[in-house]
Amino acid sequence: MSVSAPSLPAFDPLDPLGVGAQLDDEERLIRDTVRQYVHEKFLPVVAEHFEAGTFPVEIAADLGRLGLLGMHLHGYGCAGASATAYGITCMELEAGDSGLRSFCSVQGSLAMYAIHRWGSEEQKERWLPRMAAGEAIGCFGLTEPDAGSNPAGMRTRARRDGDEWVLDGAKMWITNGSVADVAVVWARTDEGKVNGFLVERDTPGFSAPRMEHKLSLRASVTSELVLDGVRVGENARLPEATSLRGPLSCLNEARYGIVWGAAGAARACYAAALDYARTREQFGKPIASYQLTQAKLAEMAVKVGQSYLLALHLGRLKDAGTLRQEQVSFGKYHNVSAALEVARSARTVLGANGVTLEYPVLRHANNLESVLTYEGTHEMHTLILGEAITGIAAFTA
Ligand code: TGC
Ligand code: FAD
């Protein structure tokens, strides 16, 4: 008696390892919903915003309605989704544009997470439901002109004055800064502790001028935060955060989202290159028929597949509560540099069309230069991994 072999799923060039089959029904539903939103509402306007250097901040309400803002947080109007579902969302958003994923990362993983993890009950009730709904926007001020990779070197000061705190200093490169209703500002107190403060947009002494002329992440608002004798009450201080662990724990959340997001940007570039290669003819044949093009596509497929697999693995670890910060660094290290390589190679497949905004690849490649730098530069994640591997910290010479 002959036993027929089980039929194999079809090979999907955009998911060459069949990672999508590992998702459950709910995860697939989230993926398809976010993908559809990005295709229908965001992609038609992204080139215009990229060119103008703006972000369509009005879509915050849509993102809130879809339950995507702070979606992995529980309670206070947040969706309470799994870490994997949050990651899948980041992947689909960044397949649209890194600026879109950044908007959600900063809102959910940095500003909302900071309040959720380190805030008082009153602060959570006041801010989280409105932020989850997209009615209030948050930003996260850690980096300063002279303290980027080394936030311990921050100069922003918080001085106690009776019942109040007085904040003085400057933050730089702050995503959503000029459009934020509330800024999570990290400052050092007179006792040398790092504390977080919720500074509302119209507080006297506070301003958030836009930083112009970026060549990367153009469809995203980036700002300075100026704190000139800003007075806030004790109820504006995040009571549970008293060291650098406060802001660094938030970075861990956002870095996790970037692991997935970068896989999405890579997929989008590879998809554009594959589509172009199949239809563009030179020397009488589609350029996909030439071995040099196939080598590029195969290399992209391998990187896209590896990145998706790695992201899902880290997602499952995070949902199991066993994900370590070094493993998040592993993910950011691999997936962001892989995405950049895919984007640059995809750009060459498109020839001159690759340098236009009609196709997404150079927009993604340019964005990924910022992604390589923010949330810990590639070098910082190299050193974090180096320390985990050797037991020796090499951050200072
Ligand atoms: P270190 O002594 O290692 O740690 C101080 C305290 O923090 C804890 N910690 C972490 N906790 C959670 N997650 C992590 N990833 C953590 N890393 C460290 C640590 O356990 C310790 O806790 P405790 O309780 O003992 O006080 O601190 P260090 O000053 O030596 O830091 C080392 C280093 C280089 C790893 C750290 O400074 C670093 O990660 N630098 C990179 C800075 C960075 O990533 N900045 C990002 C700014 S935000 C941003 O870019 C937003 S982009 C917008 C977007 O996402 O779209
Ligand atoms: P530096 O720290 O000065 O580093 C310069 C170079 O030196 C890098 O290559 C770095 O890897 C290398 N280097 C530094 N130290 C070492 C070392 N010990 N060993 C080896 N090499 C080293 N920050 C926020 O707080 N909030 C935000 O919302 C935010 N959004 C951003 C949005 C954009 C578009 C960008 C570009 C940045 C954003 N950032 C934000 C800032 C970002 O986190 C920092 O740019 C990043 O941490 C690096 O800091 P830096 O630019 O000061 O570079």
Condensed to tens digits (0 to 9), the pLDDT of residues 133-149 reads 999 999 999 999 999 99
Q: Which atom of ligand 2 is nearest to the CA of 370?
A: 36
Looking from the CA of residue 374, the nearest atom of ligand 1 is 50
Least confident span in 5-19, 114-128, 208-222, 379-393: 5-19
> Span 370-391, mean pLDDT?
98
- Closest ligand (CA of 220): 2
Return the ligand number nearest the Cα of 152: 1
Residue 94 clears pLDDT 70, i.e. is over it = yes
pTM over 0.75: yes
Residue 255 Cα: closest atom of ligand 1: 55
CATH code, 138-242: 2.40.110.10
When pLDDT is averaged across residues 301-306 and rounded to a whole number, the result is: 98
Measured CA to CA in angstroms, residue 384 lies from 60, 68, 254 at distances of 34, 30, 16
Catalytic residues: 375
- Residues with Cβ within 8 Å of 186's Cβ and at least 6 positions away in sequence, in order, are 141, 142, 151, 154, 156, 194, 195, 196, 197, 246, 247
State the distance from the centre of ligand 2 to the C-alpha of 301, rounded, in angstroms: 30
Please give the average per-residue pLDDT across 248-264, as a whole number.
98
**Ligand 2 atom nearest 376 alpha carbon:** 47
Supply the residue whose CA is at minimum distance from atom 20 of ligand 1: 245
Q: Each residue of 32-87: pLDDT tens digit? A: 999 999 999 999 999 999 999 999 999 999 999 999 999 999 999 999 999 999 99
CB-defined site of ligand 1, < 6 Å: 102, 105-106, 140, 142-143, 149-152, 175, 243-245, 248-249, 251-252, 254, 325, 374-376, 380, 384, 395
pLDDT at 328 > cutoff 80: yes
**What separation in Å is there between the alpha carbon of 377 and the centre of ligand 2?**
6
Nearest ligand to the CA of 394 is 2
What's the pLDDT at 3?
72
Per-residue confidence at 397, pLDDT binned at 50, 70, 90?
Answer: confident
**CATH code 1.20.1600.10 for 246-390:** no
Pocket test for ligand 1, best of 244, 258, 377 (most atoms within 8 A of CB): 244
Which tens digit of pLDDT belongs to each residue from 233-244? 999 999 999 999
Q: What pLDDT is attached to residue 14?
A: 97
Ligand 2: centre distance to CA 63 (Å): 28
Q: How confident is the model at residue 1 (pLDDT cuts 50, 70, 90)?
A: low
| Spans of all domains in the chain | 19-132, 138-242, 246-390
pLDDT confidence of residue 2: 65
Buried b (16+ CB within 10 A) or exposed e, 205-242: ebbbeebeeeebbbbbbbbbbbbeebebeeebbbeebb
CA of 366 to the centre of ligand 1 (A): 25
Domains 19-132 and 138-242 belong to one CATH topology: no
Q: Residues with beta carbon inside 6 Å of ligand 2? A: 106, 140-143, 148-149, 173-175, 217, 222, 370, 373-374, 377, 379-380, 395
Helices 361-373 + 325-349 axis angle, to 10: 150
Q: What integer pLDDT is reported at residue 86 of this predicted model?
A: 98
Contacts for 225 with CB less than 8 Å, ≥ 6 apart:
139, 141, 170, 171, 172, 174, 177, 183, 185, 199, 206, 207, 208
Please give the number of the atom of ligand 1 that sits closest to the Cα of 376. Answer: 44
Mutate to test the pocket of ligand 1, among 140, 245, 258 (most ligand atoms within 8 A of CB): 245
Expressed in angstroms and rounded, the spacing between residue 378 Cα and the centre of ligand 2 is: 9
Give the model's pLDDT for residue 5.
Answer: 79
> Would the pLDDT of 10 be above 80?
yes
- Ligand closest to Cα of 387 equals 1
Query: Among 1.10.620.20, 1.20.1420.20, 1.10.540.10, 1.10.150.130, what is the CATH number of 19-132?
Result: 1.10.540.10
